[in-house]
Amino acid sequence: MHSVVAAFAAAWIIHIVYLFTLASRQRELRRALNAVTTQRDVR
Amino acid sequence: MEAKRLTPATGPRPTSNWIVLWGSLTLLLLLVGLYLALLWAPEEATMGIYQRIFYYHVPAAITAFVAFFINLVASVVYLLRRSRIADAWAVASAEVGVVFLTINLITGPIWAKPIWGIWWTWDARLTLDLVLWVMYVSYLLLRQLTPRGELQPRLAAALACFFFVDVPINYMAIRWWHTQHPQPVIFGGPGSGLAPPMYVALAICWMAFMALGYVLLRLRIEQEMDRHALDDAQRALLLEDVGG
Amino acid sequence: MADFRIAWATLTRDVRLELRTRESFNAMLFYALLVVVIFSFAFESEAELTARVGGGLLWVAFLFAGLVALDRAFVREMPGDTLTGLLLSPAPRAALMAGKFVSSFVLMLTIEAVLLPLFAVLFNVSSEVHWGGIVLTVVLGTWALAVTGTYFSAMSIHTRHRALLLPLLLLPVAIPAIISMVQATQVFLSRSGVANYWWKLLFGFDVVFTALGLLLADVVLDVD
């Protein structure tokens, strides 16, 4: 019983971790893009 | 100098429509799959409840193989065309493949321990899975350690070609090596005939994983293209500075 | 024909450079000796153990020494940035790569030629083993490592943590070759069975990756 729960939980956790990694990378990227656009608009 | 058009950094993104649609579909499939795998599918006679791990274990492996195949095709296309989008597909599929293969490699031993009595054995299939995992992790490391630019996708694509040629040789070597060693366990897994409901649960779980793989792949591809946009914008700014 | 001349020139140039700056070669050789000596401390160097796991020990030692040699294949070009010079020349990339393959191969074989007798002595290899078979395995296995390793060496010079990345790239791809060379050597050390299958596999690996390395030579040897 325990191992079945562990296996399914592991799969979900890995997916969620990857999703969060993608999201945090995207946030950083968005911030950098924002910075560049404002810098360009200022000129 | 005219700066390149940028993706609007604020406001609604063009991606929002598909992600709502595909995201909810994927979540639904995953939940249905979970229900079918854990509650609905009948208990297997010899392995009992542990057999249920297979409903995640096998689809994860197949999805990973599909992702690695996409990686190969995208790498070859990149070498021929040098197109950014091909490289975005390559890096996205490698990452998604590693995620799914990791799930496969973690659920495998969890199943093996109660059934075989051991966590790991150098069985041909397990070994090949591990080798594939090691390969694509090294692929991602190469990308990480190479400076961004034109060089990184080029080297990565060459490495992907090496992997492709290597897999069949690996298959032969591992199978031959394996047959020389005593097999520690009796393999009584599936394939020795599944009951129809089990196929249904397996199929739904596989569809759910493929849908999830598609969502992750597409998100990662868009992220890679965003990063290119950022690189371009930064370069344009730099050129403006130099141009004075 | 011109391609062969370019490959030959690349090879002789590398060999000459190694002969002139002998200290790096000496250091490499000494490093390889140390690996074998440390192994004989780490494992009981009894004849029966050698018969059981000798193949693995020998190839791990060769691999360690080989990685240093392979790293040098393109690092050699760094001080005077001579790689740019090579790449600006109209020489076909495949010919340059072929020359590099052979020069790595020669360098690795030279080290192994010293290492193998030392290993035999320190690990009490039975004198009745089939030395011809072991030597053929060493040659085939070294070519496998030289080809893939040189290609990845060309890749890794462009990256951060060059010396770390080379084994990270080489080892996963070389897994089938490593299995084959260890098993083939093991067959001879334990004097059991034949190594034909492993030789065929190693030979296949050699041919396939030599072809692929030459085919994709201009992917890694390119001016940025």
ipTM of the complex in this document: 0.89
Indicate whether B9 belongs to any domain. Answer: no
CA distance B70 to chain A (A): 19
Query: How far is Cα of residue B26 from the mean position of the Cα atoms in its chain?
Result: 16
Q: Which pLDDT score, from 0 to 100, does residue A1 have?
A: 67
Q: Which residue has the higher pLDDT, C216 or C1?
A: C216
Model confidence pLDDT, tens digit, residues B113-162 = 777 777 777 777 788 889 999 999 999 999 999 888 888 999 999 999 99
Indicate whether B6 belongs to any domain. Answer: no
- Residue B189 — left, alpha, or beta (φ > 0 → left; ψ -120 to 50 → alpha)? beta
> Mutate which of A31, A33, A34 to disrupt the B interface (most B C-beta within 10 Å)?
A33
Structure tokens at B101: 């293969």
Largest Cα–Cα separation, chain B: 77
Q: Count structural domains, chain B.
A: 1
Indicate whether B169 belongs to any domain. Answer: yes
**By residue range, what is the domain housing residue B77?**
22-40+51-182+202-231
Indicate whether B95 belongs to any domain. Answer: yes
CA distance A42 to chain B (A): 12
Model confidence pLDDT, tens digit, residues B192-217 = 556 677 778 888 888 899 999 999 99
Q: Which residue has the higher pLDDT, B56 or B71?
A: B71
Mean pLDDT of C189-197: 79
3-state SS class at B3 = coil
In the predicted structure, residue C81 carries a pLDDT above the cut 50: yes
Model confidence pLDDT, tens digit, residues B217-234 = 999 999 999 999 898 888
- List residues of chain B with CB under 8 Å from any CB of chain A: 3, 6-7, 9-10, 34, 37-38, 49-50, 52-53, 56-57, 60, 95, 99, 102-103, 106-107, 110-111, 113-114, 212, 216, 219-220, 223, 226-227, 229-230, 233-234, 236-237, 240
Query: Running DSSP on this structure, what letter comes out for residue B7?
Result: -
Indicate whether B76 belongs to any domain. Answer: yes
- In the chain, the amino acid numbered C171 is L
> Buried b vs exposed e over C57-73: b needs ≥16 C-beta within 10 Å?
bbbebbbbbbbbbbbbb
Indicate whether B8 belongs to any domain. Answer: no
**Alpha carbon distance B29, B63 (integer Å):** 15
Rounded to 5°, angle at Cα C144 from C143 and C148 = 110
**Alpha carbon distance B228, B235 (integer Å):** 10
Q: Which pLDDT score, from 0 to 100, does residue B139 have?
A: 95
Does B135 contact C172 at a Cβ distance shorter than 8 Å?
yes
Query: Nearest-CA neighbor of B213 among B77, B97, B40?
Result: B97
Q: Verify C-A touch: 3 or more CB pairs within 8 A.
A: no
> Which residues pair with residue C125 across a beta bridge?
none
Residue whose entry in the numeric block shows the structure tokens 């897999």: B167
Indicate whether B45 belongs to any domain. Answer: no
Q: List subunits contacting chain C, requiring 3 or more Cβ pairs under 8 Å.
A: B
Partners of residue A21 in chain B, C-beta under 8 Å:
none
Structure tokens at B217: 């792949």
Q: Which pLDDT score, from 0 to 100, does residue C45 have?
A: 65
- In the chain, the amino acid numbered B119 is W
Question: Which stretches does DSSP call E strand in C97-148?
Answer: none
Smallest Cβ–Cβ distance between B106 and the set A10, A32, A39 belongs to A10
- Residue B187 — left, alpha, or beta (φ > 0 → left; ψ -120 to 50 → alpha)? beta
Q: Which pLDDT score, from 0 to 100, does residue C49 have?
A: 76
